[in-house]
Structure 1
Amino acid sequence: MTITDIIYSRRTIKSFKADPISMEQISKWLQASTMAPNHKMTEPWEVYLVGPETRAALNHKANFFNAPVVMAVLSKHGSTEVEKAENALATACFVQNFNLIAWEEGVGTFWSSVGNAQKNREILGVQDEYDVIGVFGVGYPEEISTPKDRTSIEEKIKHLP
């Protein structure tokens, strides 16, 4: 599969099989994800692997669609507002790298913003100098949805003089 095939075929998964994924595999994908662009090599990401007790406390309405692995990805604030924004963007690139490399191996993800609620930040033990970029269900898809239509990029391009 080419990277183009991976990008076009990747979907958000809302129904996972119970099949386990080894922590060795997750670690391999996370290591590859660190190749994300990040301004001044801040490497602002932190990954929390969420265990059953924490997962239950988060009380996600769909229980992360029964994904066998749940992880939270955080971004460390910078010393300025610009660096904070750059770090969040770099961490989003880290997440996208993870999503694509996992998808290449038949594993999908579900990205939730549940970690942004103050109560859930406390459950996760997130320090004030971090943003929660997302809490992710990770697993083999039970179902893969049909892609939704996208706006043509031609409608999004502006040519400047």
Structure 2
Amino acid sequence: MQVLKQETEIAEVIRERRSIKKGYNNHYVKEDTVTDLLEDAIWAPTHGMRQPWRFVFIGENQKQEFAKRIASTYPEERQANRESYLNEPSAILVVIMEKGDNQKKQDENFGATACMIQNFQLLAWERHLGVVWKTNPHIYDSKVEEILQVNEEERIVGFLHMGYFDELPTKKERIPVRDKFSTFQVV
């Protein structure tokens, strides 16, 4: 058995990864790249092997029409802003999950989907593809669900904005674990 070094490559990738919210360059994000990343990302832990996710890809050729349609669900005074905002990334991946027929399954499905998204972000980072998980109000809008053909047993978990980038965002420190850690004590 091989002994792992003190800090593994995965630990480095976890600490180095950043959410890329803007500053995308003009390199296109290809559908094949996204499906390739997803083939590995879906190996996330999933309760009962439910694999409760599905995806809708919006690439360069669909982005303008998609942005216009999603922006149309906002009040008129916000539509131009939202359309511009949705046109910023090079591509968008909408992540949709099965709700589950009770609270336990819904929590498990969300946890599995969140793990899969984190896998996707880490895998994308290795390829110098920036990703940010967006949970804007439109993901809860029934009109957006209709546009994306989300059925009653599903919900949108988020829009993953993606794009290649030239500049790294500043690293933001984390609260030390010891500040949020305790040991159970019998009283």
TM-score by length of 2: 0.79
Which of 71, 81, 86 is 2:108 aligned to?
86
**5+ long unaligned stretches in structure 2:** 1-7, 72-81
* Cα distance change of structure 1 residues 123 and 142 upon mapping to structure 2, 3 Å threshold: farther
Which of 22, 35, 43 is 1:27 aligned to?
35
Alignment partners' CA distance in 2, 1:74 and 1:152: 33
Q: CA deviation at 1:21?
A: 2.4
Deviations 1:48-84 (A, max 9, x none): 1123222322223652462211110011011221101
Q: CA deviation at 1:8?
A: 0.9
Deviations 1:85-125 (A, max 9, x none): 10011001010000000001101112211322333222222
The CA RMSD measured in Å over matched residues stands at 1.8
**5+ long unaligned stretches in structure 1:** none
* Cα distance change of structure 1 residues 138 and 104 upon mapping to structure 2, 3 Å threshold: same
Q: Is 1:58 aligned to 2:74, yes or no?
A: no
Which of 155, 169, 172 is 1:148 aligned to?
172
Alignment partners' CA distance in 2, 1:63 and 1:18: 16
Letter in 2 for 1:128: E
Alignment partners' CA distance in 1, 2:113 and 2:131: 16
Letter in 2 for 1:57: R
Q: CA deviation at 1:15?
A: 1.8
Letter in 1 for 2:117: V
Q: Is 1:9 aligned to 2:16, yes or no?
A: yes
Partner-residue secondary structure (3-state), 1:111: strand
Which of 55, 65, 85 is 1:47 aligned to?
55
Identity of aligned residues (%): 28
Equivalent residue, structure 2, for 1:135: 159
Query: Is the 2:67–2:87 contact (alpha carbons within 8 Å) kept by the matching residues of 1?
Result: no
Q: Which entry has the higher C-alpha Rg, 1 or 2?
A: 2
Aligned pairs, number: 161
TM-score by length of 1: 0.91
Letter in 2 for 1:26: V
